[in-house]
Amino acid sequence: MTISTRKQSAAFAAAGVHNMPRTRSHIWTNVVASVPEAVLSSMTSRQLAAVIAAAHKSYHDGRATNQAEVIDDAIWIGAGVDRLLPLAALKSITEDHSREPIEWSKSGDTWAVIRYRMDYNERV
């Protein structure tokens, strides 16, 4: 492909795509696969930004239908959580297992209880 890195970067910035290498690579791969090279080569960075913005919107619309997706060193969790969490934070989660009596049980049944704890700090 004859598009310069500088032109690509300018187009991604103009399209509002954050500098996340895997996301940009995914979008660029799909743009190159969908648009003929002669057309891409003749585009200005603004025109290229419009194509990238459309691909980016499609990417996010598709992602919104997923429940979770790994992105670089984090995971996007949808399903109403709608947060990007570092994998290191999730790996820091510990589980404490215990049992508690069921108040209304006459036969001494117990609930299995799992308490999740996370000790994670991030400096940005």
Residue 54, pLDDT score:
93
- pLDDT grade for 56, boundaries at 50, 70 and 90: confident
Is pLDDT of 1 > 70? no
Q: Of 52, 61, 3, 2, give the one whose Cα is nearest residue 27.
A: 52
- pLDDT grade for 104, boundaries at 50, 70 and 90: very high
Q: Are residues 19 and 65 in the same domain?
A: yes
Q: Specify if 82 maps to a domain.
A: no
Q: Are residues 66 and 95 in the same domain?
A: no
DSSP string for residues in 59-119 = HHHHHHHSSEEEETTEEEE-TTT-EEEEHHHHHT-EEEEEEEE-TT-SS--EEEEEEEE--
Q: How many CB atoms are closer than 10 A to CB 11?
A: 24
Is pLDDT of 29 > 80? yes
Taking CB atoms within 8 Å and a gap of at least 24, the contacts of 31-36 are 31/55, 32/1
Please compute the mean of the pLDDT values over residues 66-79 and round it to a whole number: 83
Joined tokens for residue 16: 């509002």
Q: Specify if 107 maps to a domain.
A: yes
Share of the chain above pLDDT 70, in %: 97
Q: Are residues 53 and 109 in the same domain?
A: no
Residue 78, pLDDT score:
81
Residue 43, pLDDT score:
92
Q: Are residues 12 and 73 in the same domain?
A: yes
Q: Are residues 108 and 63 in the same domain?
A: no
pLDDT tens, residue by residue, 10-20: 999 999 988 88
Q: What is the residue range of 109's domain?
A: 88-117
